[in-house]
Chains A and B, each alone.
Chain A
Amino acid sequence: MQMNRENAFIKWTLIVGCELFLALFLILPLVFIIQTAFAQGLATYCNSITDQYAVKAAWLTVKATLWAVGVNTLFGLSAAWCITKFAFRGKKIISTFIDLPVTVSPIIAGLIYVLTFGRQSFLFPLLDKYDIEIIFATPGIILATIFVTFPFISRELIPVLTAQGVDEEEAASLMGARTWTIFRKVTLPHIKWALLYGVVLCTARAMGEFGAVSVLSGHLRGKTNTLPLYIELLYQGYDFTGAFAASSILVLLTIIILILRVWLEGRGNKRMELRH
C-alpha cells in the first residue's frame, strides 16, 4: 500500500516535470515561430512566403532533398543488401564508413568537399577543363545534402534484413528466380516499411541541413540559397517576420514528417507482431 502511494507521487512528479520540460523546450518554440510569422498580419505573411527569392530557395531545397533521397535510397538498398546478404572481407570497415557522416560535424563535412573540389584540390584542373562547377553551385549543395543524410536509409534497413535472414532468397534462387525478381517479390515486401521510414528520416534531415550546405553554397541569393540559408539571411538582416514566415513552412513540413513517422512506426510494429 505504502509502495503504491510513493509510486504515484514519484510518477506524477516525473510526468509533470517531463511534460513541462518538453513544453518549454520543444512546443513553445513552435508556437513562437507561428506567432511571430503572423505577427504583422496575414498579408505580410503571404508577401514574405511568395517573395521570388523565397520561392527560389524553397525550390532549391526541394531539389536537393529529392536528389538526396533518391541517391540514398538507391545506395541504402544496395549497401544494406550487400552487408546483410553476402559475406565478404572489409564488411566492418564499410559499415563504419557508412555511419561516419553522423558523427562528423556538418561544418567539417562541408570543409572536406571544399578541399576535394575547390581551387586548391588535385581534382580542380580536371573539373576546370570540363567546366564543371561543384563548389558554390547547386551540385555542391546536393553533394553535401547526400553526405549528411548518407546513413539514414541503410541503417533502418540493415536490422530488418539481418533479422529476416537469407533462407527465403536462397529458396527463390533455387527455384530459378532472377536476382531482380527475388528482390522485388521476396525482399522488398519485407523491408517496405523500414524503407519508407528511412526515406522519411532522410527527407527530414535533407530539407533542414544548414551547416554543410552553408559552407558549400556561396550564398548567392536566388541561385544557391536553400530555404534554411535564406532564413539565416533574413534573420541577420533583421527581417524577423520574413525569417519566421519562411520558417513556418519548414515547421509545417516537420510536423507532417513527425506524424508520418509515428504512423509508419505503428505499421512496422504491427507487421512484426503479425509475423511472430
Chain B
Amino acid sequence: MTILSVVVLIPLCSLVVFSAQLSPSEFLHTITTPRVLKSYWISIACAFSASVVNAFMGLSLAWILVRYEFPGKRLVDGIIELPFALPTAVAGIALTHMTTVNGWIGKLFFDLFNVRIAYTPLGIVVALIFIGIPFVVRSVQPVLEKIDVQYEEAASILGASRRRTFLRVIFPEILPALISGFSLAFARCIGEYGSVVFISGNIPYKTEIAPLMIMSQLQEYDYASATSIALVMLAIAFVILFVNAVLQSLVSKRVSGIS
C-alpha cells in the first residue's frame, strides 16, 4: 500500500494543497479567458462527435465479431486493440502526415471535396476516433456474447421482424454496456494529448485543445493557471463518469421493469 500512497495519493494531495492556495478570483479569471473557454469547447465537441462515431462503429464491430463468421475475423479481433498498444505519438504523426493536403488521404479529400483534414477540428475528430474505438467494442462485446439466442428466436416465432427484434430485445440488453463504453471513450478523448497535438496544428481559438492549454501554461512555468485548467478538466471527467453511473442505474431499472 506504500506504493499506492507514494505514486497516487501524495501527488493528488499536492494538487489539492496547491489549488487551495489559489485565490477564487484568480481561478475564475484563468478559466474564463476566451482562449481557455474555447479550448474546453473544442475538446468537448470533438471528443463528443468522435465518441458518437465510435459508438456506432464499435457496436457494429462488436456485433460482427460475436455473431458472424467471416474471413479475417481473428485479424480484426486482434487489431481492435491497436490504438491502445500503439504509442500515441506514433499514431499522431502517422495520421497527420497522411491527412495533410500532400498525404495519401488528405490529397484525395482535398481534391474531391475540397476538405482539409489535418490542422482542422476534423483532424482532431479523426485522431480521437482512432483512440476511442477499442473502448466501445470491448465494453459491448462481452455483453453481446452472453445474450441467449433463444430470446431472439422466441421474438421471431412470435412474428417480430428482425429490426423489431433488434430494437426491442437486443438493444435494451446492450444499452448499458454501450453507454459505459461511450463514456469511457469520451472521458479518455477529452484528456487525449499525444495523438491530437500533431494533427490539430494548435491554432489558438480554432484547434487548441484543453490539455494543450495546460501544457503551454506549464512551459511558461505558470503553475497556478495550469492547475486551474486541470481542475476544471478533472471536474468534467468526473461529471461524465457520474452521468454514466446515473444512466446505468436508470437503464437497468427500465430493462428489469420490462421483463
Q: Which residue numbers of A lie inside 8 Å of B, CB to CB?
A: 3, 6-7, 10-11, 14-15, 17-19, 21-22, 24-30, 32-33, 36, 71, 74-75, 78-79, 82, 94, 97-98, 100-108, 110-116, 118, 120-123, 143, 146-147, 150, 201, 204-205, 207-211, 214-215, 227-229, 231-232, 235, 240, 243-244, 247, 250-251, 254, 257-259, 261-262
Contact = CB atoms under 8 A, between A and B. Distances in A.
B46 interface: no
Given A25-B129, A106-B193, A108-B233, A247 B223 contact: no
Given A18-B57, A111-B218, A6 B162 contact: yes
Nearest to B241: A103
B76 A112 contact: no
A115 B93 contact: no
A97 B9 contact: yes
B191 A107 contact: yes
Contact of B105 (A28, A79, A107, A210): A28
B203 interface: no
Interface residues of B, number: 72
Interface of B: 1, 3-4, 7-12, 14-15, 17-18, 57, 60-61, 63-64, 68, 70, 72, 74, 76-91, 93-95, 97-98, 103-105, 126, 129-130, 133, 156, 162, 187-188, 190-194, 198, 211, 214-215, 218, 223, 226-227, 230, 233-234, 237, 241
B162 A3 contact: yes
Contacts of A98: 4, 8
Contacts of A147: 7-8, 11
A228 B76 contact: no
A17 B53 CA distance: 13
B129 A231 contact: no
B137 to A, nearest CB: 10
Main secondary structure of the interface of B (DSSP, over half): helix
Contact of A235 (B4, B14, B198): B198
A6 B68 CA distance: 14
Nearest to A240: B97
Contact of A115 (B11, B83, B187): B11
A208 B191 contact: no
17 contacts: A10-B162, A18-B57, A18-B76, A26-B83, A33-B94, A78-B1, A98-B4, A100-B8, A105-B230, A108-B234, A116-B10, A122-B14, A150-B7, A211-B194, A231-B93, A247-B94, A250-B87
A259 B81 CA distance: 11
Contacts of A259: 78
Contact of A111 (B85, B126, B226): B226
B209 to A, nearest CB: 10
A176 B135 CA distance: 45
A79 B8 CA distance: 13
Given A29-B95, A214-B194, A258-B85, 5 more contacts: A100-B12, A111-B226, A122-B17, A123-B14, A208-B90
Contacts of B162: 3, 6-7, 10
A33 B91 CA distance: 9
Contacts of B188: 102-103
Contacts of B234: 104, 108
B94 to A, nearest CB: 4
A232 B76 CA distance: 29
Nearest to B129: A25
A215 B18 CA distance: 18
A26 B79 contact: yes
A266 B68 CA distance: 19
A3 B156 contact: yes
Given A32-B97, A235-B93, A15 B11 contact: no
A17 to B, nearest CB: 7
Contact of B87 (A18, A146, A254): A254
Contacts of A201: 84
Contacts of A114: 218, 223
